[in-house]
């Protein structure tokens, strides 16, 4: 097959952020499919003009400069979405292919996918990574009734223009099916585990600990991910404050960036935990994350207390923890939290009462037997159910179905 793969925010492992599309695309390329990734150049886009193409692990990656950051206003983000949709429509239509595969967010990625599909008379497959526009509506980013109406129409347009749909969580499939789309044409292919990337061994973590005088042999809890409104990382600041009163040696590290970074830092300073038992390290390439998880006793996944988000949670940090063989603590319900509890690879922190949550956390950190056993179970779960190799084969089968 010749595949047009549309993802506006595609990342390689040397870049910060999730690498699902990279991992899926490079495997599809290794199966002798020709993969053309159409994406945007973001952080270094200023001063750049026109398309440029690179080879990334056998993937033909076509980059178009469209500046973007999580710190941009909602209006500026919409402008970036539409700007890329216009350029990507022309580019995707010019690449002769057998199928076009588009992954959200943003939902506007459906526009170039539809255009290329109709121009070339090839099937379109759409991947739902996030329930947009439900999320922006829930946090008040979209309030205008007309914009809400148009966003809903675009959502249905994306679904019903597609020969098949990939959903990253069971709740996402339910939402797609609730619009009247055929359940037989929707397949759940969750986020996956990068087993190779996270197989670094404990020695890497021990070495990292020795590089930081403030860490050394302290119990370590790591959050590695975005610091946006939906993540609610300020919860970790409050948790660190309560934990400090009971067990001040417990250390919280946040690796990431986002629109709420400055606010989280400010709150950590006000509550007297910044630089004491709470450390903000900023954004790092994905290749640096395994060392921090190797050093960690426990990883955490955070989401604000809104059902629309936790029901459909497919956080990279959850699957990264499994791949690294580390127990995971979630402060939300949802399918991945239920999975963690059922498989005994993690637990749920109280979302409302951080004093209670601190007690839960400390008890787990003191239970060295559970930490070791849960870590081994986490890695086994990653290998047997969430390996990228398994999931990429499922995606290949779905794309072949659509082509046939």
For 169-201, write each residue's pLDDT tens digit.
Answer: 888 999 899 999 999 999 999 999 999 999 998
Average confidence score pLDDT of the chain: 93
- The SS3 of residue 252 is strand
Residues 226, 317: Cα–Cα separation, whole Å:
9
Give dist(CA 52, CA 73) in Å, integer.
27
> Which whole number is the average pLDDT over 256-284?
95
pLDDT value at residue 214: 96
What's residue 44's pLDDT? 65
pLDDT at position 141: 74
Confidence of residue 106 (pLDDT cuts 50, 70, 90): confident
- What confidence category does residue 103 fall into, taking pLDDT thresholds of 50, 70 and 90? very high
CA distance 25 to 30: 9
What's the pTM?
0.90
pLDDT at 133 over 80: no
For 238, other C-beta atoms within 10 Å of its C-beta total: 18
Residues 177 and 183 sit within 8 Å (Cβ to Cβ): yes
Kindly report, residue by residue over 361-385, the tens digit of the pLDDT: 999 999 999 999 999 999 999 999 9
Residue 46 has pLDDT above 70, yes or no: no
- pLDDT confidence of residue 52: 94
10-14, 138-142, 156-160: range with lowest mean pLDDT:
138-142
Rounded Cα–Cα distance for residues 324 and 328 (Å): 11
CA proximity to 9, closest of 73, 75, 88, 76? 88
Instruction: Determine the pLDDT at residue 45.
Output: 62
Count the neighbouring beta carbons within 10 Å of the beta carbon of residue 136.
24
Where does CATH 3.40.50.2000 sit in the chain? 2-192+387-403, 202-385
Average of per-residue pLDDT across 126-135: 83
Cα angle: 211, vertex 212, 213; to 5 degrees: 120
CATH topology of domain 202-385: Rossmann fold (3.40.50)
Confidence of residue 227 (pLDDT cuts 50, 70, 90): very high
Residue 98: what pLDDT?
98
Contact 179, 156 (CB under 8 A): yes
Q: Is the pLDDT of residue 90 over 90?
A: yes
Residue 74 has pLDDT above 80, yes or no: no
For residue 328, pLDDT over 70 is answered with: yes
pLDDT in tens, 14-41: 888 889 999 999 999 999 999 999 999 9
Least Cα distance to 327 among 299, 349, 348, 303 occurs for 299
Q: Name the pLDDT band for 43 (thresholds 50, 70, 90).
A: confident
pLDDT at 324: 97
Structure tokens at 240: 């660190």
Residue range 2-192+387-403 in CATH 3.40.50.2000:
yes
Least confident residue range of 151-160, 231-240, 346-355: 151-160
The label of the residue with tokens 């791949």 reads 323
Which parts of 150-257 are beta strand (E)? 164-167, 186-188, 220-224, 251-255
């Amino acid at each position: 097959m010749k595949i047009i793969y549309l993802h506006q925010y595609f990342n390689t492992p040397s870049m910060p952020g999730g690498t699902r599309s990279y991992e899926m695309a490079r495997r599809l390329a290794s199966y002798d499919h020709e993969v053309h990734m159409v994406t945007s150049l973001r952080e270094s886009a200023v001063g750049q003009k026109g398309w440029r193409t690179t080879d990334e692990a056998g993937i033909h990656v076509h980059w178009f400069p469209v500046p973007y950051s999580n710190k941009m206003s909602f209006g500026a983000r919409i402008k970036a979405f539409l700007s890329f949709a216009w350029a990507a429509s022309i580019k995707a239509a010019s690449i002769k292919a057998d199928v076009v595969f588009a992954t959200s967010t943003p939902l506007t990625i459906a526009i170039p996918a539809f255009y290329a599909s109709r121009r070339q008379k090839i099937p379109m497959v759409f991947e739902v990574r996030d329930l947009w526009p439900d999320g922006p509506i829930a946090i008040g980013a979209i309030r205008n009734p007309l914009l809400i109406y148009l966003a809903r129409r675009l959502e249905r347009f994306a679904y019903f223009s597609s020969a098949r749909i990939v959903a990253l969580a069971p709740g996402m499939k339910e939402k797609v099916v609730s619009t009247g789309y055929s359940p037989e044409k929707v397949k759940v292919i969750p986020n996956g585990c990068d087993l190779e990337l996270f197989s670094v061994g404990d020695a890497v973590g021990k070495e990292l600990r020795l590089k930081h005088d403030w860490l050394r042999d302290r119990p370590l809890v790591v959050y590695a991910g975005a610091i946006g409104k939906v993540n609610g990382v300020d919860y970790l600041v409050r948790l660190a404050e309560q934990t400090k009163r009971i067990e001040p040696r417990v250390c919280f590290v946040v690796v990431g960036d986002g629109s709420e970074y400055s606010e989280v830092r400010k709150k950590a300073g006000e509550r007297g935990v910044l630089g004491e038992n709470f450390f903000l390290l900023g954004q790092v390439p994905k290749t640096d994350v395994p060392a921090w998880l190797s050093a960690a006793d426990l990883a955490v996944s955070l989401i604000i207390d809104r059902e629309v988000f936790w029901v459909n949670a497919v956080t990279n940090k959850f699957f990264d923890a499994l791949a690294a063989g580390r127990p995971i603590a979630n402060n939300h319900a949802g399918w991945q939290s239920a999975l963690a509890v059922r498989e005994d690879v993690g637990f749920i922190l109280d979302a409302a009462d951080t004093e209670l949550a601190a007690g839960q956390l400390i008890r787990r950190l003191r239970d060295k037997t559970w930490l070791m056993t849960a870590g081994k179970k986490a890695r086994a779960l990653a290998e047997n159910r969430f390996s990228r190799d398994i999931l990429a084969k499922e995606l290949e089968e779905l794309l072949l179905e659509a082509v046939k």
